[in-house]
Amino acid sequence: MLPTRAKGPYLAPLRREDTPELEPTYQDLIGFLGFVPNTELTMARMPRSTKALIDFVISIYGDSEVGQPMLMLCGLLASASAGCMYCSTHNANAASDLGVEAKKIAAVWEFESHPIFSERERAALNLAFKACQTPSGVSSGDFERMAKYFSETETTEVLMAVCHFGIFNRFNDSVAATIEPTPLAFCKAHLPAEHWQPGAHDE
């Protein structure tokens, strides 16, 4: 389990009205996730970077060929693999919002053996898990496995979704961002306690 740290946030989120220039970005986030995450309210001290980062996120998920549910499951496993419980929570909740059943979300840690996952899904989750190890655990065989089920563009998309969480995992875990009520309630109800605990990110 993760080492115990003081409850966050270590860097306070700004109020939404403090950065009116980010209002269009906040509206994008409400459309994407259903709420304005504490991540962006905290990063809002750097409004230009915050806007550009969210535009980058939307460019990955906006017209995904692989599909957002698969990318969210990859993001969940990637974030859990990197030890960021805040990002794990957001991905799990977003996958549920997109229609992925809760028992499948909760089974993501057993992706190699659990019958709920297809071989195609396993190939993507395997890449997600290994790409977030430090240093990277990815080797040639992982790309061979992807090539059986995914086009090169789709593989790029999966890897992009996983790697862009390198930004959010480090940011949110560093500031110990507080998880918002809706995703927190979902994860407390559905995720296995041996793999997920809100820790420093608890409300």
Partner 1 sequence: MKDIRSYFNPLHRDASPQLASAYRSAEDFYGYLPNYFLSMSRLPMAVEAYTTFLTELYDEVTLPTGLAHLISMQASIVAGCNYSIAHAAKNASDCGVTGEKIEALWQFETSQLYNARERAALAFATKSAHAPSTLDKPDFEQMLTQFSELEICEIIVIVAQTGFHNRWNDALATPLEAQPLSFARSHLPGNAWDPGKHA
Q: Based on CB atoms, which residue is closest to partner 1, 3 or 115?
A: 3
Q: Looking at 24, 110, 112, 170, which residue binds partner 1 (CB under 8 A)? A: 170
The correct pick among 27, 30, 118, 147 for binding partner 1 (CB under 8 A) is 147
The set of residues, in sequence order, having a beta carbon less than 8 Å from that of 135 and lying 6+ positions away, is: none
Residue 85: CB atoms within 10 A of its CB come to 26
Residue 136 binding partner 1, by CB under 8 A: yes
- 96 or 172: CB nearest partner 1: 172
Q: Please give the residues from 83 up to 112 whose contact with partner 1 meets the rule CB under 8 A.
A: 83-84
CB of 122 to partner 1, least distance (A): 17
Minimal distance, residue 12 CB to partner 1, in Å? 8
* Nearest to partner 1 of 82, 184 (CB atom): 82
| CA dihedral (85, 87, 88, 94) positive or negative | positive
Distances (CA, A) of 50 to 25, 163, 168: 8, 17, 11
Q: Applying CB under 8 A, which of residues 29, 131, 179, 184 lies at the interface with partner 1?
A: 131
Applying CB under 8 A, the residues found at the interface with partner 1 are 2-3, 5-6, 8, 10-11, 42-43, 45-46, 48-49, 51-53, 55-56, 58-60, 62, 82-84, 127, 130-132, 134-136, 138-140, 143-144, 147, 152-153, 155-157, 159-160, 162-164, 166-171, 173-176
